[in-house]
């Protein structure tokens, strides 16, 4: 029997559609927390005991269905270099020696 009463989650083998939907909802929570794919995979593995391959597969399905959203999301959470970091390293722009 595949049921494990220790977790309130649906069983992947018994209720695959419910399980996949649950993983989608957990990924959506990760997105609200501005996590990237790898952070989400790690968080779900650690906190919800979701196998990384399952999370990755569901993530890829969501990406395929929502490519524009994920491209925009990726740009939004990717840190950009600060121009002040470049200016501070150059004596030409007033850095003291």
Residue identified by tokens 């990717």 is 78
Residues 17-38 have pLDDT tens digits of: 999 999 999 999 999 999 999 9
Q: DSSP assignment of 18-75, as one string?
A: HHHHHHHHHHHHHHHTT--HHHHHHHHHHHS---HHHHHHHHHHHHHHTHHHHHHHHH
pLDDT value of residue 7: 55
Domain boundaries, the chain: 16-78
Please compute the mean of the pLDDT values over residues 41-68 and round it to a whole number: 96
Comparison of pLDDT for 47 and 14, the residue scoring more: 47
């Amino acid at each position: 029997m595949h049921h494990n009463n220790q977790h309130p989650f649906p069983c992947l083998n018994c209720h695959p559609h419910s399980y996949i939907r649950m993983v989608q909802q957990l990924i959506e929570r990760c997105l609200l927390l501005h996590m990237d794919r790898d952070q989400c995979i790690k968080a779900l593995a650690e906190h919800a005991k979701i196998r990384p391959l399952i999370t990755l597969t569901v993530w890829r399905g969501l990406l395929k269905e929502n490519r524009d959203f994920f491209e925009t999301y990726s740009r939004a959470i990717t840190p950009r270099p600060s121009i002040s970091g470049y200016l501070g390293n150059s004596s030409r722009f007033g850095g003291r020696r």
